[in-house]
A and B are shown apart, each in its own frame.
Chain A
């Protein structure tokens, strides 16, 4: 019925926070990439246009000769001023260099130039002083070729500076927005889930009294199906328990009424055998009573959430059994502190458990001895008799239903101690049996102490 528990508990809020931050970083990275991509291609377009323009300026000013020449400074100067970033070279038909803005650069770049020129762009991967390579444009002018080379740094430097200014802006702008968004979601989640804490508090009281339903008010739509389903389950459980209770009540009535008639009839009988018959009827009545107690403990939940006084339960059990003890010539005593011994539990069940323990002791104690009920702080209660005691090996067996010790008196059904054991377990307590210091048997019930 129980769902397998997940390996680790996780928090919706922290999961949301994590995902939100991941999303935010992703968004910033994506925006940065888009900006970078955009600026690079724009710059490239600009550069490409500039390159062609430069080629055409050089081409337009070529002198007609096929021998080396010098171009006017108006054209050469800007190239030379570019500090090696921009270079032009003019080749003759036999690929002899006719003119250049920078002979050294030209010589170095020459080996990387395409073997045969074709009009258009080309690339030079690496070159001293240009670790990003260069872009070139070749333009035929008659049988000659005008080549213009441009370093790639320009665009990457611009891109880098653009990127850094964008990142600065984006981080200062996007980060707070992202952080705010994250906080808002986490807080919304927290607030939205707060009614669930209230529902949990109500759920913790289920069982104390019937009719408790989890409140739906203020719950987010996402969790109402769960809460409604739980409420329906509670209704079904209560119906089952009510049916079970009714059955138990009817069984009790059905079994006890004929026994009551039998007992009453025997009580009015004066015959010599009447006493023996009365004992038989009592034995049967006791068995029925214990069977009903056992069945109730097995089939119905025991509410153990009330504040009860263990000492008071002991007093009630002793008071009930005192007349029987007097009849059998056994002294009954309550020892230990006179202050209350508060625990969480079920008063009637505790009285039943102690009644069974004391009855058991009375059954084994010889006439003239004492049965002592001893309370000890914080929540332990023992019942000690001066009977023959029990062999340690028999103890675990005795706590099982229908098991009877070797010293069992006539009439025991073997259910009493099993009932005690169930009641102790329902209270998260323990039952322990041992031989007392002066012989006899000591049964000890120990209950968990309520947290203060």
Chain B
């Protein structure tokens, strides 16, 4: 996994690179938009971390140029600006995520991992959290190294929650992905499924918890 860190603040860039490499990524650093463009042209990256305030150009411009070339390179914007208009511009110009400075390194790593887990990302066959591993191709779930039997729906539910681990997944999203339009959907079908999945995870000794955010959705995190 190769990342490009586009950040003019050298010290911060150095710290990000170090943290990324410790997390198992390879990271290059570009301090200007010009350097970033030549790096991106020279080799292919799996994701980019882009600071908006570059000395030679606005980060938005670089992002727009990138998107015009029709690349699906996942881009996480790193910025000190949090004015509403900046946020809108960032998501309009095709950023995949947005993190406001200052940020914690584990958060940045988690976000980058989430970007790489996206279905359109090249890799990400194995989804990992705590002692659980889900192979998205073979649909196999391993908990603490032991094969665990989950139904098709339970596996899909787990996959959806794993792809967005640590974040709220909306009920509507889960319902849409789990049930076809014609299937009779009871008002508490989702609750029943979650309940079953929770029991299975608990029985198998998984170190994860599915938290309910009542009225909104569910959040999967490592048990504390």
Contacts and interface: CB of A to CB of B under 8 A. Distances in A.
Contacts of B209: 326
B81 interface: yes
A335 interface: yes
A257 B224 contact: no
B19 interface: yes
B122 interface: no
Contact of A323 (B12, B86, B102, B167): B167
Interface string A314-330: 01001100110011010
Interface string A33-73: 00000000000000000000000000000000000000000
A346 B216 CA distance: 22
Contact of B11 (A261, A285, A327): A261
Given A263-B103, A264-B105, A327-B224, A319 B216 contact: yes
Contacts of A267: 15, 19, 104-106
A334 B82 contact: no
A334 B80 contact: no
B121 to A, nearest CB: 22
B105 A268 contact: yes
B129 to A, nearest CB: 13
A255 B104 CA distance: 16
Nearest to B215: A334
A260 B52 CA distance: 14
Contact of B214 (A261, A281, A334): A334
A253 B9 CA distance: 11
A415 interface: no
A349 B80 CA distance: 18
Interface in B167-224: 167-168, 209, 211-216, 219, 221, 224
A259 B101 contact: yes
B53 interface: yes
B82 A268 contact: no
Contacts of B101: 256-257, 259-260
Nearest to A370: B214
Interface string B80-121: 111110110000000000001111111000000000000000
B214 A333 contact: yes
A118 interface: no
Contacts of B212: 331
Nearest to A347: B84
Size class of the A contact interface (CB-based, 8 Å): 35 or more
Q: Which of B16, B86, B219 has the most CB of A within 10 A?
A: B219
Contact of A319 (B86, B102, B168, B221): B168
Interface string A252-275: 110111011111110110000000
Size class of the B contact interface (CB-based, 8 Å): 35 or more
A177 interface: no
Contacts of B53: 253
Contacts of A77: none
Contacts of B166: 323
* Secondary structure of the A contact surface, majority rule: helix
Nearest to A278: B104
Nearest to A293: B82
B18 A253 contact: no
Contacts of B214: 331-335
A323 B221 contact: yes
B168 A322 contact: yes
Interface string A322-356: 11001101011111101000000011110000000
A326 B83 contact: no
Nearest to A303: B84
A245 B83 contact: yes
A252 B100 CA distance: 10
A79 to B, nearest CB: 106
A259 B15 CA distance: 13
Contact of A249 (B83, B213, B221): B83
A333 B168 CA distance: 12
B216 A248 contact: no
A205 interface: no
B16 to A, nearest CB: 7
A263 B104 contact: yes
B102 A281 contact: yes
B168 A252 contact: no
Given A268-B18, A331-B212, A334-B216, A259 B102 contact: yes
Contacts of A404: none
A289 interface: yes
A292 interface: yes
Contacts of B215: 333-336, 338, 373
A296 interface: yes
A327 B16 CA distance: 24
B83 A257 contact: no
Contact of B103 (A260, A319, A331): A260
B59 to A, nearest CB: 12
B80 A264 contact: no
Nearest to A319: B168
A248 B84 CA distance: 12
In the complex, the 6 A-B pairs of residues with the closest C-beta atoms, listed nearest first: A334-B215, A333-B214, A348-B84, A256-B80, A260-B101, A264-B15
16 contacts: A249-B81, A249-B83, A256-B102, A260-B80, A260-B101, A263-B104, A264-B15, A289-B82, A315-B216, A318-B168, A319-B216, A326-B211, A326-B221, A329-B224, A334-B214, A349-B84
Given A249-B81, A264-B19, A296-B83, 10 more contacts: A261-B11, A263-B103, A264-B102, A285-B102, A319-B168, A322-B219, A323-B221, A326-B209, A338-B215, A346-B84
